[in-house]
């Protein structure tokens, strides 16, 4: 990235910079873009004919965007460091499992936010351990199954759009559907006769305390590893996908945004409260017909929205969140509002709001301290005009919805 610039500065081509200095720069860039937006949208300018000003503003905005990108770039590091550390674990895993393991890496040069990279090691280590411990078979079993004695785990990273996709693929025995299903039924995730789709079933291995390993080893089987993965992925706004073929192996894919700093969002208003939602989870925005929203008395007045020939759950934010004034939507009929349909892993979810304000790149701030108790949110979004919106995590909104 910055190599060509740095080359002329020093023979080494690389500079060590403390990460807090870069964070400071990122903060300043965020402040800069906010205050530029504030200046440009100043109410004093309303109604004035300012053609030269407009041109200058346009150029200024472009520069601010470039500075923003450049600052974001500075925090990007190759995922190689994480992969190297994981590869070093290979020998340790061989020793502990008594299996022969080869770890391959592809796409180690893929760039990712340093803050993301720092947090990826632990969850990836757990996936790797699981693959080594549960996935790969002992050499004798492998030979009997006609596979090479050395089990192979492949770590892959690639950037697709604004996401980095990391996969951990093993060529082991694959997930055991019967065993996982039995365990999942025992834990009450599925009914006794329910036959979930494979993709849905595999997700249960990320549930807290879920382990099918009969013995707890040093390596895995405590059911905590996968939960670490789950928690971290939620915090990084990532998604997890599992695919497995019996006898062939298991593939765990993690899709993570390249940078946590900026997020492309739609801004929604409900009463006095502003919400932001990542643009890629919004599947449709529409004004519902009166007859399209039905409430079911038998389910505590839960509402459903008739959408595209099906019925989908409705989540009213003032009911989901505590301390939101009911006037912010409580007494309003859904047909007076705008329905936003989100796409979640568990299906579509309709959320009524008063107004759609804007689509913009927001600066994300994590919720810490007392704000960490706010549910179903990734963090706070700083908007161009200085307002603060709560970034909704629709997956958790949906989960809260189905739990009731």
Partner 1 sequence: MTSLAPDTAHPPAAPGANLGADMEADTLANMYLTFDIGTEEYGVSIADVIEIVGMQRIMPIPDLPPYLKGVINLRGKVIPLMDIRLRFNMPERPYDDRTVIIVMEVDDSPIGLIVDGVREVREIPIDRIDRHAQLGKTGTRQVIAGLGRLEKSVVVLLNPSVLVSEDDIRLLQEKSDA
* Binding region for partner 1 (CB under 8 A): 27, 30-31, 34, 272-274, 317-318, 321-324, 363, 365, 368-371, 373-375, 380, 382, 386-390
DSSP element (H, E) containing 15: none
Distance CA 152, CA 9 (A): 43
Of 61 and 241, the one with the shorter C-beta distance to partner 1 is 61
Distance CA 150, CA 102 (A): 7
In the bound complex, what is the minimum distance in angstroms from residue 11's beta carbon to partner 1? Answer: 36
Of 90 and 271, the one with the shorter C-beta distance to partner 1 is 271
Q: What is the DSSP string of 344-394?
A: ETTEEEEEEESEEEEEEEEEEE---GGGGG-SSEEEEEE-TTS-EEEEE-H
DSSP element (H, E) containing 235: helix 225-235
List the structure tokens of 158: 């690639």
Of 161 and 386, the one with the shorter C-beta distance to partner 1 is 386
List the structure tokens of 131: 């693959």
Residue 106 CA to chain centroid, in angstroms? 22
Of 30 and 86, the one with the shorter C-beta distance to partner 1 is 30
Of 12 and 331, the one with the shorter C-beta distance to partner 1 is 331
In the bound complex, what is the minimum distance in angstroms from residue 357's beta carbon to partner 1? Answer: 14
Q: What is the DSSP string of 169-219?
A: EE-SS---HHHHHHHHHHTTSS-TT----HHHHHGGGGSTT----SS--SS
Distance CA 148, CA 101 (A): 11
Of 333 and 375, the one with the shorter C-beta distance to partner 1 is 375
In the bound complex, what is the minimum distance in angstroms from residue 327's beta carbon to partner 1? Answer: 12
- CA-closest candidate to residue 103, choices 78, 132, 65, 126: 132
């Amino acid at each position: 990235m910055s190599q060509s610039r740095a080359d002329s500065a020093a023979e080494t081509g690389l500079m060590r910079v403390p990460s807090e200095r870069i964070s400071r720069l990122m903060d300043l860039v965020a402040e800069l873009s906010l205050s530029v937006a504030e200046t440009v949208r100043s109410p004093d300018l309303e109604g004035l004919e300012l053609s030269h000003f407009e041109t200058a503003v346009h150029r200024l905005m472009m520069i601010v965007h470039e500075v923003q990108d450049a600052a974001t770039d500075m925090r990007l590091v190759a995922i190689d460091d994480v992969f190297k550390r994981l590869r070093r674990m290979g020998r340790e895993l061989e020793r502990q499992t008594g299996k022969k393991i080869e770890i391959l890496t592809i796409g180690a040069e893929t760039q990712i936010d340093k803050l993301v990279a720092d947090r990826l090691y632990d969850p990836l280590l757990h996936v790797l351990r699981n693959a080594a411990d549960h996935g790969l078979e002992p050499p004798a079993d492998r030979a009997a199954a006609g596979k090479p004695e050395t089990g192979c785990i492949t770590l892959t990273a690639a950037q697709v759009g604004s996401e980095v996709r990391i996969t951990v693929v093993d060529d082991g025995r694959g997930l055991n559907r019967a065993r996982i299903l039995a365990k999942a039924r025992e834990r009450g995730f599925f009914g006794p006769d329910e036959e979930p789709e494979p993709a849905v079933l595999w997700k249960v291995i990320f549930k807290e305390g879920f382990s099918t390993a009969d013995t707890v080893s040093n390596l895995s089987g405590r059911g905590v590893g996968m939960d670490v993965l789950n928690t971290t992925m939620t915090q990084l706004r990532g998604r997890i996908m599992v695919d497995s073929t019996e006898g062939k192996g298991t593939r765990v894919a993690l899709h993570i945004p390249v940078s946590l700093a900026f997020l492309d969002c739609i801004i929604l208003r409900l009463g006095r409260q502003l919400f932001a939602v990542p643009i890629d989870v919004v599947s449709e925005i529409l004004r519902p017909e009166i007859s399209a929203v039905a409430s079911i008395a038998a389910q505590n007045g839960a509402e459903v929205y008739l959408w595209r020939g099906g019925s989908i759950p409705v989540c009213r934010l003032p009911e989901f969140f505590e301390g939101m004034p009911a006037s912010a939507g409580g007494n309003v009929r859904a047909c007076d509002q705008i329905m936003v349909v989100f796409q979640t892993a568990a299906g579509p979810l309709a959320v009524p709001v008063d107004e759609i304000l804007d689509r913009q790149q927001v600066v994300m701030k994590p919720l810490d301290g007392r704000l960490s108790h706010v549910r179903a949110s990734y963090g706070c979004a700083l908007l161009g005009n200085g307002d603060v919106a709560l970034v909704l995590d629709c997956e958790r909104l949906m989960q809260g919805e189905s739990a009731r």
